[in-house]
Amino acid sequence: MKVIIGEASAKGLRIGIAISRFNDLFTRNLLAGALETLERHGANPDDISVVWVPGAFELPSVLRPMAVSKSYDALIALGVVIQGSTGHAGIINGQVAASIAQIAADTGVPVIDGVIGAQTTEQAMERSGGKQGNRGSSVAETAIEMANVLKKLSGGHL
């Protein structure tokens, strides 16, 4: 039996992060969590790029060219969409998630969805460094594992 698992080391990995300025009180915490986790796992800060966009809806617009560039081993999307603040929060969330999945499928570059869909600001706070942890940190771990497992697959470990 062959079991293929992506290691947890970020050494040598090139990671791109797209982040939304909307709700930046929370998204900045997600970014801090993601950067701390990447660096704790051995990523070189020079190998990390951070691209800011106005809102979560704009994340796919930068993630696609980043993925197509083949300059990154994995991409991370960070945003916070709060239901209470808009009638179309659910639409934004669904659209962003579908676009992210499509970009990953089209390009073969893992794109990790770190967009929080919260009902309230309290929930957003809990998930961006509060009592439910920091989603930026957990999606950084996902990005590392996916980058490494895809490197193995493309290196012929099938």
Of residues 53 and 144, the one with the C-beta less far from ligand INI: 53
Q: Which of 24/39 has CB closer to ligand INI?
A: 24
Cα(142)–Cα(145) distance, rounded to whole angstroms? 5
Q: How far is the CB of 82 from ligand INI (least distance, A)?
A: 4
Min separation Cβ 64 and ligand INI, Å: 16
Can you give the binding site for ligand INI, defined by CB under 6 A?
20, 22-23, 54-58, 79-82, 85-86, 89, 92
* CB closer to ligand INI out of 54 and 65: 54
CA distance 18 to 153: 25
Helix extents (H) in the chain: 24-40, 59-68, 89-107, 121-127, 135-154
Active site residues: 88
For the CA atoms of 117, 77, 146, 46, the dihedral, rounded to the nearest 10 degrees, stands at -140
Closest contact distance (angstroms) between CB of 94 and ligand INI is 13
